[in-house]
Amino acid sequence: MFDATFFVGLSFVLFVLAAWRPVSRAMTKALDSRAARIEAELAEAVRLREEAQATLAAYQKKLTDANKEAEEMLTSARAAAKRLEEEARAQIQRAVDARVQQANDKIAREEQEAVTAIQRKVVEIAVEAAKDILSDDMNDEANEKLIALAIKDSGRTLH
């Protein structure tokens, strides 16, 4: 029963048992260091992920703020454009009203000048007609009475 195979098997088991401790320590140490490295990498990955999420949140907030500001600017610009349009319409209306008033004033002046011109012409025609009628009907005696009456009346009209 204790032949060479037994001793070889026993020596192998003893060798494995004797070598197991330093090898298991080395393997455990290697595995522990690898686990520590993986744990550190995981911690770094978690930290980087948190930083990325914080950066993403900051950029999303900036984007939201920029969109809000752009919307406010757009609303303000629309209000300003509407106000300018209303002011322009009011200015145009005032200018049109002023032009209409000027035209009405000019028409009134022209009408008054035309009426005055017609009145002058009527007076001139009436004076000419009266002169013609009087010159036909007047004699020296009538002229003298008329001159005396004019002289007498001139004192009243000149003062």
Query: Residue 116: inside a domain, yes or no?
Result: yes
Calculate mean pLDDT across residues 61-72.
96
Residues present in the chain in total: 159
The residue range of the domain holding 148 is 23-158
DSSP states along the chain: ---HHHHHHHHHHHHHHHHHHHHHHHHHHHHHHHHHHHHHHHHHHHHHHHHHHHHHHHHHHHHHHHHHHHHHHHHHHHHHHHHHHHHHHHHHHHHHHHHHHHHHHHHHHHHHHHHHHHHHHHHHHHHHHHHHHHHHH--HHHHHHHHHHHHHHHHHHH-
Query: Residue 104: inside a domain, yes or no?
Result: yes
CA of residue 151 relative to chain centroid, distance: 82
Query: Residue 57: inside a domain, yes or no?
Result: yes
Query: Residue 13: inside a domain, yes or no?
Result: no
The band of 157, judged by pLDDT with boundaries at 50, 70 and 90, is low
Tell me how many domains the chain contains.
1
- pLDDT tens for 92-104 read 999 999 999 999 9
Query: Residue 15: inside a domain, yes or no?
Result: no
d(CA 57, CA 51): 10
Query: Residue 1: inside a domain, yes or no?
Result: no
More confident residue, 128 or 110: 110
d(CA 50, CA 4): 64
Query: Residue 9: inside a domain, yes or no?
Result: no
Query: Residue 27: inside a domain, yes or no?
Result: yes
d(CA 16, CA 22): 10
Please identify which residue in the block is written with the tokens 């209409």.
100
Give the global pTM. Answer: 0.43
